[in-house]
């Protein structure tokens, strides 16, 4: 898979098995930010309520992404291209911009979370230089960028080493959380603040739905539509239902949502730092890949190396300011949910409620900037905006369901006035 290839996958290229697709999403979601979501929710709610929110939100968010995964085998194009019939080519470019910009934040967040743990370990082993979170954040960001720049084979070799180690250390983290001294007392402790439960649900769903803009990027190389949906659902739901509770327990035991403090409280300072570092590098492979596809959809003639390095360096530079990202983590999840849940609603309405027929002529039309999908689809972009407005207007009752419902209803209503094309 070329990290900047936006052309349709040929039927002969659809050789990826559903199990391979499952592993891709597992590798992408076994990451520091998944662990951190559980920690951020646990500082606001009781542990029991946190577990319920994680369970419901993990399944609901994964289901929305999985519902769109069959469009990959069906259309054989990247997600930003698949969005063109519903939003218009110019409207889909707005989605590409959101994806491109938000991935800078994801790269920075991953680097910052891992750097927090690595710096504590580095300070003990190396001294002041090894204890700099900024230095670790920059080093991890550049490492991921170099590997992606070297090409798919380099990424594959890195994953072969990193993923087994991640699984081993994650298993050790699971054991440490359940055996941690004070875990029972932490579970019985009350919430830190009075916040509506719907806010916590929006955070978990927003995190899961942050993967929605890669619904077809990898599944287009798989032939089975049903297998793709199941692989994506299980890959996202199972990993979130595993790692988020660990983050919640660790935050309760440590009395802090700081990644380094949580791992120290569990007695896994060095091993935990290894896990977060490896997870950061492997997940940033995916972030750079997604941003590359988004950028190439906007400027197809851009060189692959320039695209990869611009993304990697920008995300790395943003991660050099550690404090801001962890402080705004929860707000970032909510904002992502507000922008991305309505996109999912519009695409579900377009491809499933309307039952659009897919053929080679439609696929060719997706790349014709003077064809039927040129410009902005008023119905699609209008429904996207309506869904985002509904998310924020819902306030204390939670924005996920209102945003999804509003985007579907408004899109179908506006189609009567402004049909696509």
> Are the C-beta atoms of residues 348 and 68 closer than 8 Å to each other?
yes
pLDDT in tens, 52-100: 999 999 999 999 999 999 999 999 998 889 999 999 999 998 888 888 8
- Number of domains observed in the structure of the chain: 1
The C-alpha atoms of residue 242 and residue 125 are separated, in whole angstroms, by 31
Instruction: Read off the DSSP letter of residue 8.
Output: P
Identify whether 410 is part of a domain: no
Structural domain containing residue 147: 11-329
The C-alpha atoms of residue 365 and residue 378 are separated, in whole angstroms, by 18
> Are the C-beta atoms of residues 78 and 272 closer than 8 Å to each other?
no
The C-alpha atoms of residue 272 and residue 258 are separated, in whole angstroms, by 13
Residue 323: per-residue pLDDT: 65
pLDDT in tens, 91-136: 998 888 888 888 888 888 888 888 888 888 887 777 666 678 888 8
Q: For the residues of 116-161, what is the DSSP string, one character each?
A: HHHHHHHHHHT-TTTT-HHHHHHHHHHHHHHHHHH-HHHHHHHHHH
Identify whether 57 is part of a domain: yes
The C-alpha atoms of residue 150 and residue 157 are separated, in whole angstroms, by 11
Residue 3: per-residue pLDDT: 46
**Predicted model pTM:** 0.83
pLDDT in tens, 291-303: 887 787 778 777 7
**Residue 16 pairs with which residues in a beta bridge?**
222
CATH number of the domain to which 33 belongs: 1.10.4160.10
Helices (H) and strands (E) in the chain, counts: 20, 0
Identify whether 286 is part of a domain: yes
Q: Hunting for tokens 């930010």 — which residue is that?
A: 33
> Are the C-beta atoms of residues 66 and 232 closer than 8 Å to each other?
yes
Give the pLDDT band of residue 191 (cuts 50, 70, 90). Answer: low
Return the closest-CA partner of residue 201 out of 338, 67, 52.
Answer: 52
The C-alpha atoms of residue 77 and residue 112 are separated, in whole angstroms, by 33
Identify whether 311 is part of a domain: yes
> Are the C-beta atoms of residues 113 and 265 closer than 8 Å to each other?
no
pLDDT in tens, 275-296: 778 888 888 888 888 788 778 7
Identify whether 210 is part of a domain: yes
Identify whether 267 is part of a domain: yes
Identify whether 401 is part of a domain: no
The C-alpha atoms of residue 357 and residue 332 are separated, in whole angstroms, by 36
Identify whether 195 is part of a domain: yes
Residues 6+ apart with CB under 8 A from 205: 57, 60, 61, 337, 341, 400
């Amino acid at each position: 898979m070329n990290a900047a290839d936006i052309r349709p996958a040929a039927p002969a290229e659809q050789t990826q098995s559903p199990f391979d697709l499952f592993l891709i999403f597992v590798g992408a979601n076994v990451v520091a930010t998944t662990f951190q979501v559980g920690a951020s929710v646990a500082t606001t709610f009781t542990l029991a309520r946190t577990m319920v929110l994680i369970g419901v939100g993990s399944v609901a968010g994964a289901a929305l992404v999985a519902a769109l995964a069959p469009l990959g085998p069906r259309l054989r194009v990247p997600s930003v291209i698949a969005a063109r019939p519903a939003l218009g080519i110019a409207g889909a470019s707005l989605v590409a911009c959101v994806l491109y910009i938000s991935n800078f934040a994801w790269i920075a967040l991953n680097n910052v979370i891992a750097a927090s743990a690595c710096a504590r370990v580095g300070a003990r082993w190396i001294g002041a230089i090894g204890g700099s979170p900024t230095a670790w954040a920059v080093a991890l960001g550049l490492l991921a960028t170099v590997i992606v720049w070297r090409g798919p084979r380099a990424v594959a070799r890195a994953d072969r080493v990193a993923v087994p180690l991640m699984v081993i250390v994650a298993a050790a983290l699971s054991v440490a959380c359940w055996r941690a001294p004070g875990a029972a007392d932490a579970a019985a402790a009350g919430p830190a603040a009075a916040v509506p439960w719907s806010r916590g649900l929006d955070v978990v769903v927003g995190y899961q739905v942050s993967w929605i803009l890669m619904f077809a990027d990898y599944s287009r190389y798989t032939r089975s539509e049903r297998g793709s949906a199941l692989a994506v659902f299980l890959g996202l739901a199972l990993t979130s239902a595993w790692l988020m509770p660990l983050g919640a327990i660790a935050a309760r035991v440590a009395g802090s949502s700081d990644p380094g403090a949580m791992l120290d409280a569990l007695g896994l300072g060095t091993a935990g730092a290894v896990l977060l570092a490896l997870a950061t590098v492997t997940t940033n492979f995916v972030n750079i890949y997604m941003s590359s596809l988004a950028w190439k959809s906007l400027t197809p003639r851009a060189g692959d190396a320039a695209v990869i390095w611009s993304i990697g360096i920008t995300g790395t530079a943003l991660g050099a300011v550690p404090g801001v990202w962890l402080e705004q983590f929860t707000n970032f999840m909510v904002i992502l949910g507000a922008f991305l849940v309505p996109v999912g609603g519009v695409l579900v309405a377009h491809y499933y409620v309307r039952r659009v027929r897919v053929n080679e002529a439609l696929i060719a039309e997706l790349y014709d900037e003077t064809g039927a999908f040129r410009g902005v689809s008023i119905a699609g972009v209008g429904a996207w905006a309506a869904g985002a407005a509904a998310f924020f207007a819902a306030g204390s009752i939670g924005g996920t369901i209102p945003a999804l419902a509003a985007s579907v209803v408004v899109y179908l209503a506006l189609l009567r006035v402004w049909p696509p094309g």
